[in-house]
């Protein structure tokens, strides 16, 4: 799939510009974010059963998806607008750009690689932005479940 991704260690970690920025970044959750929890709750209320924050392993890839339907081979990722560079709501950092811009490019490239490898292995990948209304997100997941 082209050139390999760069190392996770892109450049030296930047010094926070303020205590408030540092606290805000520390408060970002890796799992169980608000959009994820709302989506899981709605999926469950629709009678769908799944694994949350579950491992998916295929040749050349080991990834943790936000929601996994193993039997149907559907992996759902709920992407934050900043971290995954949403074209509508993603903001570009003004400080420490030497660190953040390559990091955000790496995340986007990793997302493409994950989708590609999971698709090659027969999985359906649903990537949802955090700003999508939860009811719309449920519809998209349900459509992926009935395909195939």
Mean pLDDT per 10-residue interval, the chain, length 148 residues: 52 73 68 92 98 96 97 97 86 84 95 98 98 97 90
By CB neighbour count within 10 A (0-12 exposed, 13-18 middle, 19+ buried), where does 62 fall? Answer: exposed
Instruction: Report the length, in residues, of the chain.
Output: 148
| Separation CA 82–CA 85 (nearest Å) | 5
Residues 89, 17, 21, 30, CA torsion sign: positive
pTM: predicted TM-score of the whole model, two decimal places: 0.82
Q: What is the pLDDT of residue 90?
A: 77
CATH superfamily entry for domain 30-146: VSR Endonuclease (3.40.960.10)
Q: What is the pLDDT of residue 124?
A: 98
The distance in angstroms from the start CA to the end CA of the chain is: 25
> Within 13 Å and on the Cβ side, how many CA atoms surround 54?
13
Report pLDDT for 25.
66
Q: What is the pLDDT at residue 107?
A: 95
Q: Are 107 and 58 in contact (CB under 8 A)?
A: no
Q: Which two tokens stand for residue 14?
A: 């930047």
Q: Which 3 state secondary structure label does DSSP give 94? A: coil
Residue 11 pLDDT: 63
Distance CA 55, CA 91 (A): 29
Interatomic CA distance for residues 63 and 56, integer angstroms: 5
User: In the prediction, which pLDDT does 8 show?
Assistant: 54
User: For residue 78, what pLDDT is reported?
Assistant: 97
Task: Specify the pLDDT at position 16.
Answer: 72
């Amino acid at each position: 799939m082209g050139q390999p991704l760069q190392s996770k260690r892109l450049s030296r970690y930047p010094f926070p510009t303020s205590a408030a920025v540092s606290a805000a970044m520390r408060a970002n959750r890796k799992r169980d974010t608000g959009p994820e929890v709302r989506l899981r709750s709605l999926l469950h209320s629709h009678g769908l059963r799944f694994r949350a924050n579950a491992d998916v392993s295929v040749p050349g890839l080991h990834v943790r998806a936000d929601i996994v339907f193993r039997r149907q081979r559907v992996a759902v990722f709920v992407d934050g607008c900043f971290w995954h560079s949403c074209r509508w709501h993603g903001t570009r950092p003004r400080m420490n750009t030497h660190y953040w811009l390559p990091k955000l490019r790496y995340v986007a490239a990793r997302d493409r690689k994950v989708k590609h490898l999971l698709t090659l292995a027969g999985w359906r990948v649903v990537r949802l932005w955090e700003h999508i209304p939860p009811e719309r997100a449920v519809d998209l997941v349900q459509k992926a479940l009935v395909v195939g």
